[in-house]
């Protein structure tokens, strides 16, 4: 049977939308066990998978002066041996359950996480509790990971992107825990020993300040009972450690920092300055501001640097959203001969956004992007876990994401101008460029005082 020909389409204007189906943030359970452990759990039963994660107040921000890399190394040794299992037995157990076991630290928290087939959830709890409560920090494993990480640090000195990030943080945060890469530095890392790790673990890995994030194919009420029995003790620490105060040094004006890579094919560019905490009340407005300025393909910075000038494959900006005053960063890899021009275009955009109200269409396009894209960022078990982590780490209320879209929609042009003036500071940006110093220096001279560094971090004569 022949079907009727479809009705003709009008190609000359974008088609109108169908009836909208609203997105609702999934239901989740949030409670606190008697031992202080916060639990956030949500069912996600599209696929037979489960993700369990413990977050501890043990991130890089807690690294003591001279001991950068301590939090990250401590986390990484947790799954290298317990009273019952060797490092290889832990890895093999997780893999047999159809998944992985990982530990690590970001700036805010240390984490232990496992993702595996849902039918193996009970075994996963047992493994997670064993690694959390009974790590033995075997001396030979500590030393092995120290050697591996020293080699990793050496490797970073050949990676232009890592060189740019490291120099940028050092310039912005000199004298604070944020100044060093999470992995640490060779000197601080080699000076650490088993005792330092055990003592960090004792202070930071108690359940009183911790959160369990569980997402997957399970009944949240049943999961809560399992968590209660698996994590019935409080762990090592008596009380949670409050996060340290990070005070970035003030800088007199724009400064230029070149890391020399003679013969490099391209230049890695970072521009920015310290900004505010993820918990700052302006954060929703900053999300809108950043979306418009450099947070999406059609943002001002990318359209300028990539689509108008062809200087780069892509340019973007972001507020990093840490507990402390994380950086605002503009990020691009640019053709070396265009580095000076690209840096000036970025400065132009940072100044322009503070000078006049944004166009009404720019704002509504950015808002409808941020609202419309939200369900897209909520598809996987990991996506949902990430949102619950944010609630837990930054102490945000249960209805935060339910109200988030409304807050985004309510931001006005005046709000954008206001937060741009208060939170974008083009006259104090640090400009970091990793590439051939000989070609870069003449292009960047005139923007601010120029310093030149070797890939190994030695100051060079200009």
Q: Smallest distance, Å, CB 237 to another protein? A: 28
Give the separation between CA 177 and CA 247, rounded to whole angstroms. 10
Contacts with 77 (C-beta within 8 Å, 6 or more apart), sequence order: 135, 137, 141, 142, 145, 197
Q: Does 1 help bind another protein (rule: CB under 8 A)?
A: no
The residues that bridge with 135 in the sheet, in sequence order, are: 82
Which of 266, 285, 304, 329 binds another protein (CB under 8 A)? It is 266
Could you tell me which stretch among 126-134, 303-311, 316-324, 345-353 binds another protein (CB under 8 A)? 303-311
Size of the site for another protein (CB under 8 A): 85
In degrees, rounded to 5, the angle at the alpha carbon of residue 64 between the alpha carbons of residues 242 and 152 is: 120
Q: Using the structure block, give the residue that is written with the tokens 């494959």.
A: 313
- Judged by beta carbon, residue 37 or residue 90, the one nearer another protein is 90
CB 194, min distance to another protein, A? 18
Neighbours of 416 (CB within 10 A): 22
- Chosen residue from 74, 146, 285, 312 binding another protein by CB under 8 A: 312
Tokens found for residue 219: 């009944």
Q: 100 vs 202, which CB is nearer to another protein? A: 100
**186 contacts another protein (rule: CB under 8 A):** no
Where is 257: in which H helix or E strand?
A: strand 255-260
Report if residue 116 touches another protein, rule: CB under 8 A: yes
Closest alpha carbon to 259 in 165, 352, 322: 165
Residues of span 268-297 touching another protein by CB under 8 A: 268, 296-297
**What is the smallest separation between the CB atom of 245 and another protein, expressed in angstroms?**
36
- Which of 126, 152, 186, 226 binds another protein (CB under 8 A)? It is 152
3-state secondary structure 331-386: EEEECHHHHHHHHHHHHHHHHHHHHCCCCHHHHHHHHHHHHHHCHHHHCCHHHHHH
Least separation in angstroms between CB 274 and another protein = 27
Stretch touching another protein by CB under 8 A, among 83-91, 178-186, 223-231, 323-331: 83-91
Q: Residue 117 interacts with another protein (CB under 8 A)?
A: yes
Q: Which of residues 17-36 bind another protein (CB under 8 A)?
A: 17-23
The span from the CA of 91 to the CA of 89, in Å, is 5
* Residue list 40-79, contact with another protein (CB under 8 A): 46-49
CB atoms within 10 A of CB 163: 23
Site for another protein in 368-397 (CB under 8 A): 368-376, 378-382
**Residue 82 beta carbon to another protein: minimum distance, rounded to whole angstroms:** 15
User: Per CB under 8 A, does 87 bind another protein?
Assistant: yes
Q: Determine whether 330 is exposed, middle or buried from the number of CB atoms within 10 Å of its CB (0-12, 13-18, 19+).
A: buried
127-146 burial by CB neighbour count: b if 16+ within 10 A, else e? bbbbbbbebbbbeebbeebb
- What CA–CA distance (Å, rounded) separates 32 from 29? 10
User: Nearest distance from residue 391's CB to another protein, in Å?
Assistant: 20
Residue in the structure block whose two tokens are 């120099």: 167
231-260: which residues touch another protein (CB under 8 A)?
none
Q: Which is nearer to another protein, 47 or 462 (CB)?
A: 47
Closest to another protein by CB, 144 vs 203, is: 144
Question: Quick one: 132 or 266, whose CB is closer to another protein?
Answer: 266
């Amino acid at each position: 049977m022949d079907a009727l020909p479809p009705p003709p389409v009008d190609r000359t204007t974008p088609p109108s939308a169908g009836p909208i189906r609203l997105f609702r943030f999934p239901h989740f359970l949030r409670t606190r066990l008697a031992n202080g452990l916060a639990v956030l759990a949500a069912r996600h039963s599209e696929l037979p998978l489960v993700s369990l994660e413990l977050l501890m107040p043990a991130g890089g921000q807690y690294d003591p002066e001279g001991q950068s890399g301590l939090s990250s190394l401590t986390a990484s040794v947790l799954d290298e041996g317990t009273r019952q299992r060797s490092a290889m037995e832990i890895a093999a157990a997780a893999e047999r359950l159809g998944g992985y076991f990982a530990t690590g630290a970001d700036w805010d928290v240390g984490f232990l996480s496992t993702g595996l087939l849902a039918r193996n959830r009970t075994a996963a709890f047992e493994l997670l509790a064993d690694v959390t409560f009974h790590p033995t920090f075997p001396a030979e494993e500590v030393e092995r990971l120290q050697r591996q990480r020293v080699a990793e640090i050496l490797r970073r000195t050949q990676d232009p992107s890592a060189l740019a990030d490291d120099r940028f943080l050092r310039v912005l945060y000199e004298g604070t825990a944020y100044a060093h890469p999470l992995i640490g530095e060779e000197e601080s890392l080699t000076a650490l020993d088993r005792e330092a790790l055990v003592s960090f673990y004792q202070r930071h890995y108690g359940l009183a300040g911790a959160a369990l994030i569980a997402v997957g194919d399970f009944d949240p009420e049943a999961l809560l009972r399992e968590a209660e029995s698996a994590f019935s003790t409080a762990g090592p620490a008596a009380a949670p450690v409050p996060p340290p105060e990070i005070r970035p040094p003030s800088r007199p004006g724009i400064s230029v920092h070149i890391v020399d890579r003679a013969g490099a094919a391209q230049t890695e560019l970072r521009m920015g300055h310290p900004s505010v905490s993820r918990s700052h009340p302006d954060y929703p407005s900053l999300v809108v501001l950043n979306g418009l300025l450099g947070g999406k393909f059609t943002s001002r910075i990318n359209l300028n640097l990539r689509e108008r000038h062809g200087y780069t494959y892509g340019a973007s900006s972001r507020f990093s959203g840490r507990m402390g005053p994380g950086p605002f960063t503009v990020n691009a890899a640019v053709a070396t001969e265009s580095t000076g021009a690209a840096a000036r275009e970025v400065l132009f955009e940072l100044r322009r956004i503070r000078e006049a109200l944004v166009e009404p269409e720019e704002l509504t396009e950015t808002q409808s992007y941020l609202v419309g894209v939200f369900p897209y960022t909520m598809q996987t078990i990991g996506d949902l876990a990430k949102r619950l982590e944010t609630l837990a780490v930054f102490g945000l209320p249960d209805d935060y994401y339910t109200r988030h879209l409304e807050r985004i929609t309510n931001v006005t042009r005046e709000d954008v101008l206001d937060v741009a003036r208060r939170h974008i500071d083009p006259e104090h940006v640090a400009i970091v460029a990793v590439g051939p110093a000989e070609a870069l220096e003449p292009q960047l001279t005139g923007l601010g005082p120029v310093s030149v560094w070797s890939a190994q971090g030695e100051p060079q004569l200009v």
